[in-house]
Structure 1
Amino acid sequence: MASAPTPDDMAATHRVAFTQSRPWSTGEFTALLDSPLTFAIGDARCFALVRVIADEAELLTIATHPDHQRQGLARQVMKDWQAQARTRGADQAFLEVAADNTPAQALYQSSGFATCGTRPGYYPRSGAAPVDAVLMKRSLR
């Protein structure tokens, strides 16, 4: 991967990658990265934003620019953020994903995550019913 993504890079990639939900702004990425508990990994093509608190890591978001999908970037970013979380003391990792986002669920399952619960109607959809969040976790040890 190239150099770490800036908040502007992340917002631009998030905007084109997240078409069914509200993308995050540069200000939101900046505020999250202001915390020493949060880190970004990847580059402007594909990145993950992760928070580690105590022994738990949470994938806050991951996005791949549509021009760079299906190239293995997200799979590599998944490996990289989990390795970084381990170095920060995380023993477990968590994430949530929209129930209708089957490509992301397949990526997470191939990265060792398993479903551990749901949040009904968590993700709003414009002109449609809200979609459940699928909660997933895995051990990092």
Structure 2
Amino acid sequence: MSLQVERISVASAARLARVHARSFDRPWPEAEFASLLHMPSTLGLSVSTGAGLAGFVLVRIALDEAEILTIAVNPDARRSGVGRTLMAAMEASLADSGVSRVFLEVSTQNTAARALYERQGFSRVGLRRGYYGDGTDALVLEKTLPGSGQDGA
């Protein structure tokens, strides 16, 4: 399967909301995506296949750090490398922008996402009890990006 990565614009908000709705029990509305994509500090990347939008990631950048706000892979495209492709493209783009560390929160119950982040080199740096609306905890994960001068220096 050929995966194509591209930057997301505000015009993609409706498509992102549809994929998010298929991926999460509490999806974000289209207006939330539009609002985030209007902010200059938000980086959005998508992966498409011949069948359309396969997944996307939204990241907020603050100086030399970034936080993954959400990452979603269309259920029809899971286990095909979309998540890994998104993460690699995001990390390269962030490193090019001078970002040295990336953070995210992930539900302790989301074993598939936790496995992806672990394979990508993220490590646990904290726990947020009752973080999600259903009362589940969130792990706080961090990754130092290669070439940032902080990877073992």
When normalised by structure 2's length, the TM-score is 0.84
Show the counterpart of 1:45: 54
- State the AA in 2 paired with 1:135: V
- State the AA in 1 paired with 2:37: L
Once the 2 structures are TM-superposed, how far is the Cα of residue 45 of structure 1 from its aligned partner?
Answer: 1.1
* DSSP 3-state at the match of 2:66: strand
Contact 2:131 2:137 in 1 (8 A): yes
Show the counterpart of 1:61: 70
Question: Is 1:121–2:130 an aligned residue pair?
Answer: yes
Once the 2 structures are TM-superposed, how far is the Cα of residue 9 of structure 1 from its aligned partner?
Answer: 1.1
Cα distance between partner residues in 2 of 1:132 and 1:17: 19
* DSSP 3-state at the match of 2:132: strand
Show the counterpart of 1:70: 79
* DSSP 3-state at the match of 1:131: coil
Cα distance between partner residues in 2 of 1:3 and 1:135: 27
Once the 2 structures are TM-superposed, how far is the Cα of residue 26 of structure 1 from its aligned partner?
Answer: 0.8
Contact 1:52 1:88 in 2 (8 A): no
Cα distance between partner residues in 2 of 1:3 and 1:110: 23
Counting aligned pairs with the same residue, the percent is 39
Cα distance between partner residues in 1 of 2:131 and 2:123: 19
Pairing 1:8-47 to 2, within 5 Å after superposition: 8-19=14-25, 22-43=26-47, 44-47=53-56
Contact 1:14 1:23 in 2 (8 A): yes
Show the counterpart of 2:137: 132
* DSSP 3-state at the match of 2:32: helix
The runs of 5 or more residues in structure 2 that have no matched partner are 48-52, 149-153
Cα distance between partner residues in 2 of 1:41 and 1:74: 11
Once the 2 structures are TM-superposed, how far is the Cα of residue 83 of structure 1 from its aligned partner?
Answer: 0.8
Cα distance between partner residues in 2 of 1:123 and 1:137: 19
1:84 to 1:119, Cα distance in 2 relative to 1, 3 A: same
Show the counterpart of 2:114: 105
Once the 2 structures are TM-superposed, how far is the Cα of residue 109 of structure 1 from its aligned partner?
Answer: 0.7
Contact 2:45 2:90 in 1 (8 A): yes
Contact 1:55 1:90 in 2 (8 A): yes
Higher RCO (C-alpha under 8 Å, 6+ residues apart):
1
